[in-house]
Structure 1
Amino acid sequence: MYFNEDKLKAIGTRFEGGKLAKKVHKSIEQLKRHDPDVQVSSEPTKFLLVSNSSILCGVSLEELEAIFLPLDEQAEFVVYPNKRSYSFVQCSSVEAAIKVRTELHGLIPMALKGSHQPFIISYVNELPEAKKCENYRPADLGIIEDYISADYEKQLVHMLINHPSVQSLKHRAVVHFGHVFDYSTNSASEWKEAEPIPQIIEDLIDRLLSDKYITERPDQITANVYEPGHGIPSHYDTHSAFDDPIVSVSLLSDVVMEFKDGANSARIAPVLLKARSLCLIRGESRYRWKHGIVNRKYDVDPRTNRVVPRQTRVSLTLRKIRRKPCECKWKEFCDWDRKGSISISPNDYVSKLIVGEMSVPSSEDLALKLESSYVSDVYENIASHFDETRHSSWKAVKKFIDDIPRGSVLYDIGCGNGKYLIPKDGLFKIGCDMCQGLCEIALKKDCHVARCDALSLPFRDGSADAAISIAVLHHIATFERRKKMIEEMLRVVKRGSKICVTVWSMDQSQSEYSKMRGNKDDVGAIDSSSQTTNRLKVHDGKDFEQQDVLVPWTIDKQGETFLRYYHVFKDKEAEDLINNVDGCELISVEKEQGNYIIIARKI
C-alpha cells in the first residue's frame, strides 16, 4: 500500500522507456568507477543506490529526507559532500525499499529546487565499506579512541554541566579553569586567573603526562557544552597564546570536526571525534590548519558517509599559556611575526618597534627578500604545472597585440610559458622572465626568450615598437619598485609606442572566479581605502581583505601548496602609478575578469 499523493512530497516528471534505460546504465557505470566494491543486485534488497541525489547535484540532505521519509520513516542515508553524483538509502526492510523504488525511480521530484535530473534507483547488495579515518587527517593530528572510561566521563560531565561558573555564549555554554580565555583575542593572560583546576581534571593531566602526550602541565582549561545543531567557527588556536599541543577530550557524543588547510581553503579534512576520545592538535595540524565544527543537527561519518544525528556534547580543552615567542616553522600562519611585532599581546609582552619577516616590506632590501622567497623560488617550483594551466589569452591583451603593425618588435616582460609569444601573427617577439624553468619551457616552444629581472631589462633603449607585461607587476612588493618596472618598459620602447600591463584587482566581484563561488560567499565590491594590517596574510579564496597577500598555488597531483606574494590593486591605483612615472601618458584602464588592463604611451 502506497502513500497517497496528498502526503507524498516527491511528485514530478517521470522518465520511462529507452531514455530511462540509458540513464540506468550510466548510473551503474558511475558506481563501478567510484565504488567498485558495491554490486548492483538483480533482486530487491533494502539498500538503494540513488543517482542524481547528491550535494554535488544540488540536492541537500533535508531535501532527501523530505522525499524519502514519507515513504519510509526509518530510512537512513549515506551521502557524499563532494565528488559523487549519487547517494545511498538504507530502508527499514526489503518491502519498504520496493515501495520507495516504485514511487521514485525515474522521477524528477518537484521538491527539488536545483536538480533537473531524475532519481535513478537500483538495488545494491551492500553499502560502501568503512574507510580508515587516517586518510582524512592533517599531518601530526593525534586521535586516541576510548581514552577515558564511561564512569570517568560521567563524573566529568556531571561536574561541568552543574558547575556554578558556567556561562552562556551564542551557540554554547562554557566554563574556564586556571586562567580566563579571552574570546576577543583568542588568548589567555597569565594574570587573569579563573577558578582553580578541579582535582578530577588534575588527575587527567597526570595521566597525559604519564602517557607522554604532553610535557608540561596545562594551566588554561575550557569546557564547552554544545546542544545538538551548535558548533564553533573555523579558527586557529592562536600561535602566540598557547604552546603545542592543544588537547581536547570529547564527552557524551561523537562529532565531526572539520580541519581546513590554511594554504588551500578547498582542502578540507573531516575528522570523527568519538565520545571519550582524546584529540591532540599539534605540529602542522595546529599551526597550519584551522579547525571548527559546523552548525548543523547531523554529521556525515567520514569513514562511511553515513548520516548521524548529533546529541548534546561536552568538550574539554587543555592548553598551556605560552611564555616565550612562537618559533614554529609555519610562520606564514603565525601571528607572532619573526623579528618583529605580534598582532596581539596575550601574555603582556611589549611589541618591538621593528619590521618582522612577514610584514609588508618597507625597503628595497626587504622587498627583494620577499620577492625571492614568495615569487622567484615559487615559480621555479611550479613552472611545469603553471605551463599546464596557462593557455588562454585576455581579450584586451589580444586586441592590443592585434593593433600593433605587422613587422613590429614586441617585448613580453615576464613571458611565463610563452603563450603570447607562440602565435604566428607577423610580429617579431622576444620574451623574458626571471624564472629559469619557465624560460626553458618557452624555449622548447621555439620562442625567443631571455632570463632577466623585469626591473633591469637587457634590451637597448627604444629598441621595440611595443611591450606587454601580463600578471607580473602585482608580484613587485613596493611602490618604488613597481614604478621602476614601468620606467624600464618605457625605456626599451620607442617614443610614441604603447605598453600594456595587467594586474589583479582587489575587487573580484565581476570575475568568473566569484561567479563559480555562487552564493557561498558575500561577493561584492571592496572598500579598499586602507591596508587592514601591516602583516602579510594568506588569502583564503574569498574576498581580498587587504592588498598585500600570499596566494596559494596547489599542485593537485602532488598535493603540494606554494604561497605567492601579490599586491592586488585597488580602484584608481593603476592611474596613480602611471601618473607618477615621468614621460608616460595613460591611455586607458579597463576591467576584465578581476584584472586591470593598463595601456600607456611613451611620450
Structure 2
Amino acid sequence: MGLPRFGRPKNDDESSSNLFVANCGPAVGHSDHEIASVFSKFGELNGVYAADDSGTRVIVSFSDQGSAQSALKALHGQPCHELGGRTLHIRYSVLQPNHQDHVKDLVPVSITASDLNIPGVYLVHDFITAQEEEELLQAVDCRPWNSLAKRRVQHYGYEFRYDTRNVNTKHRLGELPSFVSPVLERISSCPTFKNTDDSIVLDQLTVNEYPPGVGLSPHIDTHSAFEDLIFSLSLSGPCIMEFRKYENGGWFSRDGSSTVTKVESPEDDSNFIRRVIYLPPRSLLLLSGEARYAWHHYIPHHKIDKVNGRVIRRASRRVSFTFRKVREGLCKCEFPQYCDSQR
C-alpha cells in the first residue's frame, strides 16, 4: 500500500496545516518527540512524520492552518535552541493524490460507539490528558520490552503466553505497576461503565507497541483466559479497529494470541459482518458482552487509514495498554460457538 505523498502547494501563497521542515530529524539526533515538543507550542499536532528517507526532513502536521502559520512565522530561518541550535527551513506542504494508493472506504468508519452499533462496545474520547499520556509512555519506556516478530510487548500481573493463547494462573508476576493506578481508579469511577459490572477488578496488563504498518490479525481474546471486560487505552498514535462477526464461529490458530476465524481470504467479506471504528490517541475502548465474546477485532496492517474521506497517517508508534481480569475456571458465556470452554 502506498504512503500519502506531500508536496508543494500549487500557489506559493497557499497555506496548509502541514509543514515541511528541513534540517532536523533522527539523522541529526532529533526524535519525533523532541520535534513535536517544539511545534506543539503553537497548536495541537496530528503528528510528526518522516518527509523522506534522508532523516533530516520531516512533515509536521497540525490540526488547523492557523497553528501551522504561527509556527512557520516564528521558526522559519531561525536557529532553534531546543534542536541543537540548528536553523530550520520551513514551508507549507500539502497532501498529494496518490493513484497507486488503494485505500477504500469499504465500510463507514464510526467515530462513536453508538454509531458502531455493536452491543458491549464503549469508547471514551480523551480518557486521559496529553500530560498523563506522556507520563505513561515514559514509564513503560523505562522498563524492558519483549520483542515479538513485528512489535514489542510488556506484561504485568500475569504473562500472556502466545504459544498457548492463555495465561498461567499459577505464575503471577505481581501487582499491576503503580503508574497505572490513576487509570484503574478512573475506570472504576467512570459513569460510562457503571452498567457493565458492579465492581471492576483488573489484574492483567499487556502493553503493545506498534510501529507504522503493524496491526493485529482478526481474533477474539480466548474466553477461558479472561473475564468479560477488556479495556484498551490507545496512546501516541491513532488507528482504526475493525470488528467482524462470523456466524459459524471460528477455529484456534497457532500463529496468534487467541481465537481467529477460518476464512480463505482475509479480505473476502462475503461470510462475515464488518464494522469499523476510529481510535484516537488517549481514548479508552471497552469490549464486553457480545462484543468481547462473539466479534473478532482486527487492526489492519496499514501505514495510513482512511476515515470517511480523510486520510490519516499512522504515527511513528502506537502504544496500547490492554487491561483484563484473568479467569479462574471455565467460561460459561452465551456464545458457545465462539467459546473454547464449550466446544
Shared fold per TM-score greater than 0.5:
yes
Looking at CA atoms only, which structure, 1 or 2, has the larger radius of gyration? Answer: 1
Q: Which residue of 1 aligns with 2:126?
A: 146
Q: Which residue of 2 aligns with 1:276?
A: 282
Q: Say whether 1:62 aligns with 2:2.
A: yes
Q: What is the CA distance between 1:207 and its match in structure 2?
A: 2.3
Q: Distance in 2 between matches of 1:299 and 1:193?
A: 38
Tell me if the contact between 1:260 and 1:290 (Cα under 8 Å) persists in the aligned partners: yes
TM-score (structure 1 length as normaliser): 0.35
Instruction: Pick closer, same or farther for the CA change 1:223–1:72 going to 2, 3 Å.
Output: farther
Q: Which residue of 2 aligns with 1:471?
A: none
RMSD across aligned C-alpha pairs, in angstroms?
3.3
Q: Which residue of 2 aligns with 1:326?
A: 331
SS of the counterpart of 2:2? helix
The structure with the largest strand share of the pair is: 2
SS of the counterpart of 1:62? coil
Instruction: Pick closer, same or farther for the CA change 1:235–1:112 going to 2, 3 Å.
Output: closer
Tell me if the contact between 1:161 and 1:225 (Cα under 8 Å) persists in the aligned partners: no
From 283, 286, 309, the counterpart of 1:305: 309
Q: What is the CA distance between 1:72 and its match in structure 2?
A: 6.4
Instruction: Pick closer, same or farther for the CA change 1:191–1:266 going to 2, 3 Å.
Output: same
Tell me if the contact between 1:146 and 1:277 (Cα under 8 Å) persists in the aligned partners: yes
Q: Which residue of 1 aligns with 2:92?
A: none
Q: What is the CA distance between 1:202 and its match in structure 2?
A: 2.5
Q: What is the CA distance between 1:265 and its match in structure 2?
A: 4.0
Q: Which residue of 1 aligns with 2:204?
A: 220
Instruction: Pick closer, same or farther for the CA change 1:75–1:130 going to 2, 3 Å.
Output: farther
Instruction: Pick closer, same or farther for the CA change 1:200–1:299 going to 2, 3 Å.
Output: same
Instruction: Pick closer, same or farther for the CA change 1:206–1:71 going to 2, 3 Å.
Output: closer
Q: Distance in 2 between matches of 1:244 and 1:331?
A: 14
Q: What is the CA distance between 1:222 and its match in structure 2?
A: 0.3
Alignment of 1:193-592 (within 5 A): 193-194=172-173, 196-211=175-190, 213=193, 215-263=199-247, 265-301=271-307, 304-311=308-315, 312-337=317-342, 358=343
SS of the counterpart of 2:237? coil
Q: What is the CA distance between 1:183 and its match in structure 2?
A: 0.8
Q: Which residue of 2 aligns with 1:159?
A: 139
Q: Distance in 1 between matches of 2:190 and 2:101?
A: 53
Q: Distance in 2 between matches of 1:329 and 1:211?
A: 26
Unaligned runs of 5+ in 2: 19-64, 66-95, 103-107, 248-269
Q: Distance in 1 between matches of 2:331 and 2:157?
A: 22
Q: What is the CA distance between 1:277 and its match in structure 2?
A: 0.8
Q: Say whether 1:168 aligns with 2:147.
A: yes
Q: Distance in 2 between matches of 1:130 and 1:237?
A: 23
Q: What is the CA distance between 1:71 and its match in structure 2?
A: 9.1
- Give the count of matched residue pairs: 229
Instruction: Pick closer, same or farther for the CA change 1:195–1:168 going to 2, 3 Å.
Output: farther
Q: What is the CA distance between 1:198 and its match in structure 2?
A: 1.1
Q: What is the CA distance between 1:62 and its match in structure 2?
A: 3.1
Unaligned runs of 5+ in 1: 1-60, 77-91, 93-99, 115-128, 338-357, 359-603
Higher relative contact order (CA 8 A, sep 6+): 2
SS of the counterpart of 1:332? helix
Amino acid corresponding to residue 305 of structure 1 in structure 2: G
Q: Distance in 2 between matches of 1:75 and 1:148?
A: 25
Q: What is the CA distance between 1:323 and its match in structure 2?
A: 1.2
Q: What is the CA distance between 1:297 and its match in structure 2?
A: 0.6
Tell me if the contact between 1:69 and 1:75 (Cα under 8 Å) persists in the aligned partners: no
Amino acid corresponding to residue 224 of structure 2 in structure 1: S
Q: Distance in 2 between matches of 1:180 and 1:112?
A: 42
Q: Distance in 2 between matches of 1:269 and 1:241?
A: 25
Q: Which residue of 1 aligns with 2:40?
A: none
Instruction: Pick closer, same or farther for the CA change 1:195–1:294 going to 2, 3 Å.
Output: farther
From 168, 173, 192, the counterpart of 1:189: 168
Instruction: Pick closer, same or farther for the CA change 1:196–1:289 going to 2, 3 Å.
Output: same
Instruction: Pick closer, same or farther for the CA change 1:112–1:319 going to 2, 3 Å.
Output: closer
Percent sequence identity is 31
CA offsets per residue over residues 197-231 of structure 1, 9 Å max, x none? 11121232122222363523211110011111111
Instruction: Pick closer, same or farther for the CA change 1:271–1:218 going to 2, 3 Å.
Output: same
Tell me if the contact between 1:178 and 1:194 (Cα under 8 Å) persists in the aligned partners: yes
